[in-house]
Amino acid sequence: MANREKNEDRNSLKDYFQLGEVWGYFFRKKDPNRPSNFSIRSMHFVNKLSITIFLLGMIYFIGKHLF
């Protein structure tokens, strides 16, 4: 019984490759209740840019090592 509970607590490989939150960050609807000013817009732009550059770098790194 304890062994099965241990296996349920561990993450599977599928859990590590879930990109739903990343896609939701890029393609969410505009919330009219959310404050919008230059600082917040620039912060979100920098966050999106850094995520994009990181993902492109990972794709390049994996492609370089596989091919």
Task: Match 């890029």 to its residue by tokens.
Answer: 26
Greater confidence, 17 or 2?
Answer: 17
| Residue 3: predicted pLDDT | 53
For 54, the domain range is: 38-67
58 inside domain: yes
Domain count for the chain: 1
| C-alpha to C-alpha distances, 9 to 13, 25, 39, nearest whole angstrom | 13, 27, 40
CA–CA distance, 45 with 16 (Å, rounded to integer): 25
Q: Above 60 in pLDDT, residue 5? A: no
48 inside domain: yes
* Predicted TM-score (pTM) of this structure: 0.59
Q: 15-63, pLDDT tens digit by residue?
A: 767 777 777 777 777 778 888 889 988 998 999 899 899 989 999 999 9
Q: What DSSP line would sit under the chain, residue for residue?
A: -HHHHHHHHSPPHHHHT--HHHHHHHSPPPPTTS---HHHHHHHHHHHHHHHHHHHHHHHHHHHHH-
What confidence category does residue 1 fall into, taking pLDDT thresholds of 50, 70 and 90?
Answer: very low
